[in-house]
Amino acid sequence: MKFFAPLLLIAVPVLAKTEQVAEDLSRCSNDVAPYTVNEPLLPDPFLFTKGGRARNEREWRCRRREISSLVTQLELGVKPEGNYNATLAVHVFDFGEKHDQSISFNAKIRYPTTGKAPYPAIIALGGTSLPELPGVATILFPNDEIAQQYGAKSRGIGKFYDLYGKDATAGAMMAWAWGVSRLIDALEDTPAAKIDLDRIGLTGCSRNGKGAFVAGAFDDRIVLTIPQEAGTGGGGCWRIADAIYSTGGNVQTASELVQENVWVGKVFENFTSAVTTLPFDHHSLAALMAPRGLFVIENDIDWLAPASTLGCMKAASKVWDAMWESDSFGYSMMGLHNHCSFPDSQKADLTAFVDKFLHRKRVDTSGMFFSSANSTAGFTFKEEDWIKWSVPEFRLVD
Ligand code: MCU
């Protein structure tokens, strides 16, 4: 007689990744009520509103939701959700409770002359100032049509506001973020567009770089965000910009930014003379992109507050470090060239990021923090002056 070794079956519920994420999020506390702090240094991005720090990816998902909710409520305004029907050219219908209107916009796609379909693509807010990216399609997102940015008087003007009303809380950047998401919906619904949905990047320069930073933070389908020379309002931190200004620096600050244009929500005016009361700064906003690809390109023009983007992004990079994904974050600073004119010296770094995320090549993007450091700039960031929190190592703690 033969004996069979009993097979011990242990039933372990296996959830697909998306189900796992949904399940994790259901355990998070609900939307946080906005609150203020008194924190002159860069706030701990891992610290929960109710205390305790995110120690692993599961907890980070909840903390990330808090950051996104706070940034929405205190700085950028609400990015609407709704039942959309989007096709290319993008027609957006919102069938939500209050809205039964629709808007449409055209997004032009320029296909590459090399490579094969489905193509990776880079969505360009208002155009691109990057050099040609071989094998990558460029999709032009007409951000000014969605929300105008012609000075303080343009608040509430554009197709986003035709749909959601002039009093929608979203500033222009959040309105663009909404439009970029609808564009991606349309790409999903239009296989004939021949775009690989798993290889979508996003860029923009200057004011549109600020927009790219925000749109990248609020749509997880974007695998690589490349904000170029955005300065304050993008990869710069409000607190550091104010500190530079207070010692005589010619930098864009929160107070200037809200007077100049309508990029942020009106609510942010409450904070421009008290940025140290914000429970986040733009390192936390950047962290919403982790561990996706983020390659921040900067210039050493005073107004862009290079010491602020350097410090702010150094702080942000620590969230990628916590995830053991440091190589997916890059910050490249190169001076002595005109605003938004991409210098050859940054090309190797850019190519590495594009190859890794849009061409899925095995390339080395390690050590990309401040990799193109420009010695003429002469600014530094003293970490100990701004960052008092430690970096948890997510993989090691359950
Ligand atoms: C970063 O670029 C902006 C800057 O923040 C604004 O203050 C300035 O008016 O416009 C810049 C820009 O968008 O240049 C094209």
Q: Using an 8 Å Cβ cutoff, are 70 and 32 in contact?
A: yes
Q: What is the pLDDT of residues 131-162, one digit of tens each?
A: 999 999 999 999 999 999 999 999 999 999 99
Q: What is the pLDDT of residues 8-22, one digit of tens each?
A: 333 333 344 455 555
Cα 321 to ligand 1 centroid, rounded to whole Å: 31
Higher pLDDT, 102 or 97: 102
Q: Could you tell me if the CB of 206 is within 6 A of ligand 1?
A: yes
State how far the Cα of 121 lies from the Cα of 110, in Å rounded to an integer: 9
Checking if the pLDDT of 129 tops 90, the result is: yes
State how far the Cα of 211 lies from the Cα of 286, in Å rounded to an integer: 12
pTM of this prediction exceeds 0.80: yes
Question: Of all atoms in ligand 1, which is nearest to the CA of residue 231?
Answer: 1
Q: Could you tell me if the CB of 230 is within 6 A of ligand 1?
A: yes
Q: Using an 8 Å Cβ cutoff, are 360 and 397 in contact?
A: no
In 3-state terms, what secondary structure has residue 293? strand
State how far the Cα of 259 lies from the Cα of 168, in Å rounded to an integer: 19
Closest residue by CA, ligand 1 atom 9 = 260
What tokens were used for 7? Answer: 């097979």
Q: Could you tell me if the CB of 346 is within 6 A of ligand 1?
A: no
Gyration radius of the chain's alpha carbons: 21
Closest residue by CA, ligand 1 atom 10 = 207
The predicted pLDDT at position 16 comes to 44
Dihedral sign for Cα atoms in the order 154, 156, 157, 158: positive
What tokens were used for 236? Answer: 């710069």
Checking if the pLDDT of 249 tops 90, the result is: yes
The predicted pLDDT at position 378 comes to 61
Distant-in-sequence, close-in-space partners of 247: CB < 8 Å, separation ≥ 6: none
Under DSSP, the state recorded for 147 is: S
Q: Which residues pair with 195 in a beta bridge?
A: 119
Checking if the pLDDT of 30 tops 80, the result is: no
Q: Beta strands of the chain (E only): which ranges?
A: 90-93, 102-105, 108-110, 119-125, 137-141, 195-205, 224-228, 293-298, 329-333
Once rounded to an integer, what is the mean pLDDT over residues 188-200? 95
State how far the Cα of 345 lies from the Cα of 328, in Å rounded to an integer: 20
The predicted pLDDT at position 288 comes to 98
CA angle at residue 314 from 296 to 368, to 5 degrees? 55
Q: Using an 8 Å Cβ cutoff, are 210 and 233 in contact?
A: yes
The predicted pLDDT at position 24 comes to 60
- What's the longest Cα–Cα distance across the chain? 91
Question: Of all atoms in ligand 1, which is nearest to the CA of residue 256?
Answer: 7
Q: What is the pLDDT of residues 50-62, one digit of tens each?
A: 999 999 999 999 9
State how far the Cα of 152 lies from the Cα of 146, in Å rounded to an integer: 16
The predicted pLDDT at position 97 comes to 66
Among the listed residues 68, 129, 206, 284, the single catalytic one is 206
Q: Which residues pair with 204 in a beta bridge?
A: 227
The predicted pLDDT at position 10 comes to 31
- Residue 359 annotated to the active site: no
Residues in the chain: 398
Closest residue by CA, ligand 1 atom 8 = 207
Q: Could you tell me if the CB of 256 is within 6 A of ligand 1?
A: no
Checking if the pLDDT of 96 tops 90, the result is: no
Closest residue by CA, ligand 1 atom 5 = 207
Checking if the pLDDT of 376 tops 90, the result is: no
Once rounded to an integer, what is the mean pLDDT over residues 108-130? 95
The predicted pLDDT at position 126 comes to 97
Q: Could you tell me if the CB of 252 is within 6 A of ligand 1?
A: yes
The predicted pLDDT at position 8 comes to 32
Total Cβ atoms within 10 A of residue 342: 20
The predicted pLDDT at position 21 comes to 58
* Minimum mean pLDDT range among 23-27, 58-62, 233-237, 354-358: 23-27
Residue in 27, 16, 32, 12 with CA at minimum distance from that of residue 58:
27
Share of the chain above pLDDT 90, in %: 78
Q: What is the mean pLDDT of the chain?
A: 89
The predicted pLDDT at position 372 comes to 55
Using pLDDT thresholds of 50, 70 and 90, give the confidence band for residue 7. very low
Q: Could you tell me if the CB of 180 is within 6 A of ligand 1?
A: no
Q: Could you tell me if the CB of 309 is within 6 A of ligand 1?
A: no
Closest residue by CA, ligand 1 atom 15 = 206
Q: Could you tell me if the CB of 149 is within 6 A of ligand 1?
A: no
Once rounded to an integer, what is the mean pLDDT over residues 38-44? 98
What tokens were used for 317? Answer: 């990079």
Cα 215 to ligand 1 centroid, rounded to whole Å: 17
Under DSSP, the state recorded for 4 is: P
Q: Could you tell me if the CB of 79 is within 6 A of ligand 1?
A: no
Once rounded to an integer, what is the mean pLDDT over residues 275-281? 98
State how far the Cα of 204 lies from the Cα of 41, in Å rounded to an integer: 29
Q: Which residues pair with 109 in a beta bridge?
A: 139
Cα 15 to ligand 1 centroid, rounded to whole Å: 46
The predicted pLDDT at position 101 comes to 84
Most informative mutation of 154, 238, 250, 303 for ligand 1 (most atoms within 8 A of CB) = 303
Q: Using an 8 Å Cβ cutoff, are 216 and 282 in contact?
A: no
Dihedral sign for Cα atoms in the order 218, 219, 225, 227: negative
Cα 260 to ligand 1 centroid, rounded to whole Å: 9
Among the listed residues 339, 345, 359, 371, the single catalytic one is 339
